[in-house]
């Protein structure tokens, strides 16, 4: 029996904000969607069953980390990443370009060979070409595959960003050739160009000419302000193909997400809800809470009385404060799950308001609160 083809359609829209549906052979993804990050085949401090109960419909994992540990052959021997981590949700894998920039102890970029870098774990040398990145992602059996790109840090040097953007376009073309014919999977292109509008347009035009199932905004969340990010999105929102998913990589805070949805973005990922959960920061409908603060030692109210899932409200701020102060593992587990659940409740509310034509009011109510 043939696997279901990857497909996307817009269901409703309010100005540029869109609610839509991504169809994959592993299940549907309602957009705008937030993808919890399972970098190393694990969403930290959470089981896949709990992730699914939050309403998450897709997760993200990472080529760079998995090629280093445990290695692609070990995962392939189990049947692929889904079997390895016991996950029946769709999985998107990043190409590894961002991690090459941010984590490796030593790296250099070669136009033909790709990224040449030393592992942040043991210093071992690796070569990650566009073809190798796609080969690894197909070996992982990812449902959404990302092209190999160069992801520069924030930089105001036009020539530097232009050179990097042109390299990413060249690698995108090679990634597309290496991906081949896989109609039940999707290959997304990554738009680069920093904060320069003309370079963003040139990048997008080149990617559209190559042809992809989705288009991602890369090179943001790398040091620019929220306003700078929104300015880039305000420009590109008129140029993105309407009938393809729009993905903003590595973003972000709840207010980042609200502002990006308003500008036509459909997909998000970020480590913030899990990382914050491990360090004592909770996201709630009333704003952020640093649960380690001493003022919560006598507060027997729940983290968020509006939480409608998991019965997480049975744990008081007083109790969770105690767990963090005594370094109990349960603290990270409870707060991480709470944060992921909050993000998914936010996404559900965003979709509902777009469908009802009330998203702008919802956006204005929470953009400065969350």
Q: Catalytic residue numbers?
A: 94, 269
- The continuous run of DSSP H or E covering 354 comes out as helix 329-356
> Residue 101, Cα to own-chain centre: how many angstroms?
17
- Strand pairing category for 144-146 and 186-191: parallel
Instruction: Give CA separation, 200 vs 162, 196, 197, in Å.
Output: 9, 6, 5
CA nearest 87: which of 78, 95, 96?
A: 78
DSSP state of 25: T
Measured CA to CA, the distance from residue 245 to residue 215 in angstroms comes to 6
Residue 347, SS3? helix
Q: What DSSP line would sit under 158-212, residue for residue?
A: HHHHHHHHHHHHHHHHHHHHHH-S-TTSEEEEEE--TT-HHHHHHHHHHHHHH--
Asked if 245 and 214 touch (Cβ cutoff 8 Å), the reply is yes
> Residue 246, Cα to own-chain centre: how many angstroms?
12
Residues making up the chain, counted from first to last: 370
> Residue 134, Cα to own-chain centre: how many angstroms?
18
Instruction: Give CA separation, 212 vs 17, 179, 187, 240, 318, in Å.
Output: 21, 11, 6, 12, 50
Measured CA to CA, the distance from residue 90 to residue 176 in angstroms comes to 21
Asked if 343 and 254 touch (Cβ cutoff 8 Å), the reply is yes
CB-based burial label for 172 (10 Å; 0-12, 13-18, 19+)? buried
């Amino acid at each position: 029996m043939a696997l279901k083809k990857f497909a996307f359609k817009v269901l409703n829209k309010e100005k540029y904000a869109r609610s839509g549906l991504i169809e994959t052979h592993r299940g549907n993804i309602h957009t705008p969607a937030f993808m919890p990050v399972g970098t190393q085949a694990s969403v930290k401090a959470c089981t896949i069953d709990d992730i699914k109960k939050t309403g998450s419909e897709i997760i993200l994992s990472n080529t760079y980390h998995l090629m280093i540990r445990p290695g692609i052959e070990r995962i392939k021997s189990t049947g692929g990443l889904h079997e390895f981590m016991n996950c029946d949700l769709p999985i998107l894998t990043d190409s590894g370009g961002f991690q090459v920039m941010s984590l490796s102890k030593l790296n250099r970029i070669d136009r033909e060979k790709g990224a040449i870098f030393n592992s942040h774990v043991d210093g071992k040398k690796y070569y990650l070409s566009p073809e190798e990145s796609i080969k690894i992602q197909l070996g992982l059996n990812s449902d959404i595959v990302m092209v190999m790109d160069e992801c520069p840090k924030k930089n105001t040097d036009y020539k530097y960003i232009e050179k990097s953007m042109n390299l990413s376009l060249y690698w995108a073309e090679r990634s597309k050739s290496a991906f081949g014919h896989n109609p039940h999977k999707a290959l997304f292109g990554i738009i680069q160009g920093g904060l320069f509008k003309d370079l963003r347009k040139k990048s997008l035009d080149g990617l559209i000419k190559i042809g992809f199932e989705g288009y991602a905004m890369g090179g943001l969340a790398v040091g620019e302000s929220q306003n700078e990010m929104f300015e880039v999105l305000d420009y590109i929102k008129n140029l993105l193909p309407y009938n393809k998913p729009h993905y903003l990589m590595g973003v972000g805070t709840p207010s980042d997400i609200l502002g990006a949805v308003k500008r036509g973005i459909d997909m998000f990922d970020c480590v913030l809800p899990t990382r914050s959960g491990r360090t004592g920061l909770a996201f709630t409908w009333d704003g952020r809470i640093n649960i380690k603060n001493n003022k919560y030692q006598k507060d027997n109210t729940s983290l968020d009385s509006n939480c409608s899932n998991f019965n997480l409200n049975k744990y008081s701020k007083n109790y969770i404060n105690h767990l963090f102060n005594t370094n109990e593992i349960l603290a990270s587990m409870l707060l991480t799950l709470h944060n992921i659940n909050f993000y998914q409740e936010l996404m559900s509310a965003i979709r509902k308001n777009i469908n009802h034509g009330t998203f702008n009011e919802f956006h204005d109510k929470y953009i400065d609160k969350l």
